[in-house]
Structure 1
Amino acid sequence: MYNAIIVDDEAVVRIGLKNTIDWREHGFALIGDYANGRDAWEAIEQRKPDLVISDISMPFMDGLELAGLIAANYPYIKVIILTGYDEFEYARQALRLKVSDFVLKPITAREIRGLLDKVRAEMDEERERREDLSRLQSQLKQSLPILRERFLERLVAVGLGKAEIADRFAYFGLAPLAAGSVAVVADIDDFGDRELPSYEHDAEFLRFAAFDIFEEVAERQGAIAFRTREERMVAILAGEGDGSDLYETAFRYAEEVRYHIEKFLSFTATFGVGRVVPSAELLPASYKGALSALDYRFLHGKNRVLGILDLEGRPEGEPLANAAWDRKLVSTVKTGSVHEAQTLIEDGIAELKRSRVPIETCFLQMQKVVLALMNAIQEVVAHDREASIDSQMMLMEVYKFKTLDEIEAWLKQVVGAVMTEIAENRNHFANAQMHRAVEYIETHYADDKMSLQDLCRHVHMSTSYFSLVFKQHTGETFVEYLTGVRIAKAKELLQATGLKFYEIAAQVGYGDPNYFSLLFKKRAGMTPKEYRERLAKESGA
C-alpha cells in the first residue's frame, strides 16, 4: 500500500477525489488533502508520501513550485499535476521537473483511477526490480571487475597522480571527473530483524542488493560507485561551479539511496559526505572526511546522512595521516566514547608490552599518538579559538615516565582533556552557526523570497542537519522562528506607525495581506486591526 496526498485550492475537487475514488482498491492510502502548496510541503516533509496529486494554480505556493521542492529534496516521490491551463510552457516546466503526469482538467473519476493504476504499476515494477532475487544474483556474477574496484579504492584512499588517473580512467572506460569532486561513503548498519543463516554468502547477497541501489542512483547522477575491501560503498560525485552546490547534490544522492535501501530491503545504512576538493588528485582528503563523518554515527545514530562540514566545519588544512591505532583512537575521541577510548589505550599499551620494543620506541609511539590527538583538535577547533592544551608540553612530558603503566594513566588523562576540548568546540561551533542563522533571519526577514536553502548556504550547513540543530537551539523550526520574528516586527509597526495593514504585511515579508492576517491572528490571538485598536485603547486609558 502506497501513501498519497491531494493538493488543490478548490474544496469541491478535493472532496470529489476523496469520496468518488476507492483509493485502497487502487493500492493507495489517502493520508491528507491540502488547499495550498505551502501547507502541503510541510506535510510532505513530515510524512514523506509516495504520491502527490497537485493543482498548478494555488495561493501561497503553486503546484510547479511545490513539484520543484519535491524534485530537489525527495526525488523518489512521484508527482501528478492537474491543471486547467492548456499551455505548452506549463507542460515544459513539468517535464523538466520530472513530473510523472501532466493532466488537463476537467478529469473524470475513471481517468483518475487509470492514472492511479498506472503510477502503482510503475511503483510495483520498481519494487519488483529490487526484489527480483534471480536478477540480483545474475548481476552479482557480472559486477565490475575487481581491478576497477581496487584502482578506485587506491584513488580515494592513497591518491594518484594526474597522468595515472587520466590513463586508468581511459582504460576502464570512465568519464573524466569535472573540476570539483566529493566522496560519499556508505556503511550498512545491520540487516534489520531478519535472521541470516550461518553461511556468509547470504549476507553478501544482501550487501550486493544494497550496492545495486547505490550504483543505480549513482549512474543517474553521473557518479562513480564501487565497493571497498571493508564492505563499504563509495561514490565519487563531480561537478563544476560552487562547491556548496556539489555538497548539496551529494547529500540528495545519499538521502535517496538511504531511503530506497530502507524501503525496499528493510535494513539501514549510514552515509558520510566528505568535503569538496578541487581535483581528483585530492580525493583522499574528501574520502578521509567522509570516513570521519561516518564515525559520528556513534553520536547521532544509524540510518542517517552525516556531512563532515556540518559536524566539524571548514578546517584551515587537512589532518596528517596516522597509523591505524592512532586513527581509531582519534575517531573514538571525536565521537566522545570515553569507555571505548580508554579500552583502546589499554589495548595499545598491552600490545607495546607484548612486543618488548625498546623504551625509546615506546616514547616515539606515544608522541605520535599525542600528535594525532593534537591534530584532531586543530581539525575541529574553529580558527578563531585557541586550544587550551599545550601540545609541546605534552610531547615533552612523556619522557618523565619510567613505566608503560605510568604512560597508560597519563595518556588516559590526555585523552580526557582532548575529549573535553573537542566537546566544548562542538558546542561553540554549533552555537556560532546558530547565532549566524538567527542574525541572518533578523536581517532578511522582510525578504518574502527568503528560504531555508538560502539560510543554509549562508551558514554552510546542509538543510537536514541544520533543521535538527536549529530546532534544538531555538525550540522552533525555521518557519516557526521566521514567522515569530515577522509577527514581532509587525507588532512594532502597528504600534509605532499608521501604515495600512497591507503595507505592514509587505514590510515584514508577506506579499499576501490575507495570509499575513491569518498568521498574525494565529500568533497573537487577534487580527492586526484588533491588536491596533487594543493598543489605542490602552494608550488612551
Structure 2
Amino acid sequence: MYKLLIVDDEPMTREYMKAQVNSLHREWICAGEAGDGREALELLEQGEDYDLIVTDIKMPIMTGLELARELAGRGSRPRMVILSGYDEFALAKEAMQYGVHDYMLKPIVNEELVSVLDKMAKELAAERAEQAALQSLLVLSEQSRGQIARNFLHALISDNNMEIKLLYPLLHRLKISLIEAEGAIMLVDLDEGQLLERDISPTDLVLFRYIVHQTCAELAASDSPSIVLFSDNEQRTALLVPGEDAANVRQRCAAIFGKLSAAVQEMTGLQLWGSVGSSEMEVLQLGQSYRLAREALWRKLIAGEDALLATEDGAPDASDEQTGNQAEQTVAAVHRAMLEGRYAQLYASLLSLAEAAGTADRRSVLRTGACLLQVLAETMPKEKRQHQTAAALLLLRDTALTQELYRPEEAAKLYERMIESLYNTPQKESAVQETDGSEHEIVKRAKEYILAHYAEPLSLALIAEKLGVSPGYLSSLFHQNTLEPYIKFLTRIRMERAAQLLQMRPAEKVYDVAEKVGYLSVKHFSYVFKQHFGIPPGEYQERAVR
C-alpha cells in the first residue's frame, strides 16, 4: 500500500481525496493532509513517511511551488504531483524543474487521478525492486566485490566494450572506488629466456606464472589492500596501484615490486621483470596505462636491462627508446612480410634487430625470441594461438640450447625459423574502414549526450552505442575534432559544473557536489578538482561566497 499526502488550502479538496483515493485505486491511501506547504514540511520533519505528495500550486503561507523548491534540495523526498488551474500552467512548468513528477488540472477528474496514481504506483514498484536488487548487491562479500573490480579492469585492458558497459555502472552502484587520486597499472612477468634456458617446458609457464600471481596476491593482501590484482590476456600478473599522486604511485610500485621480486627469486630462483604505465586520474584511462606498461615491459625484456621500468609519464626511458622503436618497427615489418609472403624482407628485419644487440648469449636470444613470438601471436586468431605458439617456443628452445653465443646472423636465422613455424599459412589482412560523411555531427551529438548525462557513469562504449558508431571510430573522431580525448572533455564538463554548484547560495556541501557531478568518492573528486583549478573545492567555495 502506497501513502499519499494531500496539500491544499481548500478543505473540500482534502476531504474529497481522503474519501476517494482508496476506492479509485486499491494500492493507494490518503494517509495525511496539510493546508499549505509549511504544514506539509512540518509533517515530513516529524518523521511522517509518504510515497507521494499531491499539492495545490497556489496556497497562502507556502505555495506548492515553494514546497517543491524546498524539497528539491533534500536528498530523499516523496514523489510530487502538482494541482493547477489553466492559468497557472507556467508555474506548473517551473515546478517540474524541482523534480515534480507530474501535474493535474483543477477541478480533479477521476479518470485523470486514476491515471496519475497508476503511473506513480508502477514507478514506485520499479524503484523498490531496483532498491531491493541494489541492497542485495551491497551485501555481497568483499571477495565478490573484488571479483567485479577485477573483471572490470580486465575488460578495460582488453577493450571489451560490452563488459565495460555492464560493469562500469555497477561499480558506481556498489560504490567501488578503484582510485582516490591517481593510479597506474603495473605488469610483472618472468624472464622467459631464463625459463627456456633452464629447459622448462613452455606448458609449465602457466604454473610459474601462477606462483608469481599468488605470491603477489599474498603481498598485496598483507601490505597494500587497496591494490587490485588481476591477469591480462597473456596470463601476466597486472596490478592497479593507487596513490596520493603520480610520485606516490611510482614509490608504491617500486616497493611492491622489490618485495615480490625477492620472494619469487627465493622460491624459484627466477628473475622477475616489471613495468609501470602512466599514472591516471580517471578509471577509464587505465587501459592506456596498461598499454604503456605492456610496451615498456616488452622493450625491456628484449633489451635485457633494468628489471623494473617506471618513468614519470609512462614513456620509454631515453636509454632504451632507440631499442624500443627498432623493436616495434621490426614487429610491424615482420607481420607485413609474413602476411605478404616476402620472406627476404622478413630476414632483413630480424637481422637489423639482432645487429643492434650484437653478439648475444643464449638467454638473451631466447628472451628476444619469446618476446617477438608473444607480440606476433596477438595478431593471430585465438583458436590457433595457443597450439602454434607452444610449438614455435619448443622449436626456439630446442634450437637455441645448442650453443652459448650467437652472432647477429645466427640469431636472425633462429628467429626466422621460429616465426615461419608460427605462421603455417600466410594470412591476408582484412581491412574494414568505417566511413561517415557527418563526422562533425557525430562529435556534436557526443558532446550533447555528455552534457546531458555527465553525472552518470559514462564510458566511451556507452556513448558510441547511443550514437550507433564503434567506440574506436568515436574516439578517433572526437580527438580529431576537439584535440582532446573524450574523457578529458567529460572531466572538464564535470569540473565546470562543480564550480557552478560550489558558487551557489546557499552553499552546497562538497560531498553533495561530488555526487552530483558523477564522483563516487569525495576524496577523488577533491583531488581532480584541485588538479583542474589549482585549489581544493572547499577553498574555492569559500572564495566564491565571500
Structure 2 length-normalised TM: 0.33
Structure 1 length-normalised TM: 0.33
Could you say which structure has the greater relative contact order, defined with CA pairs below 8 angstroms and 6 or more residues apart? 2
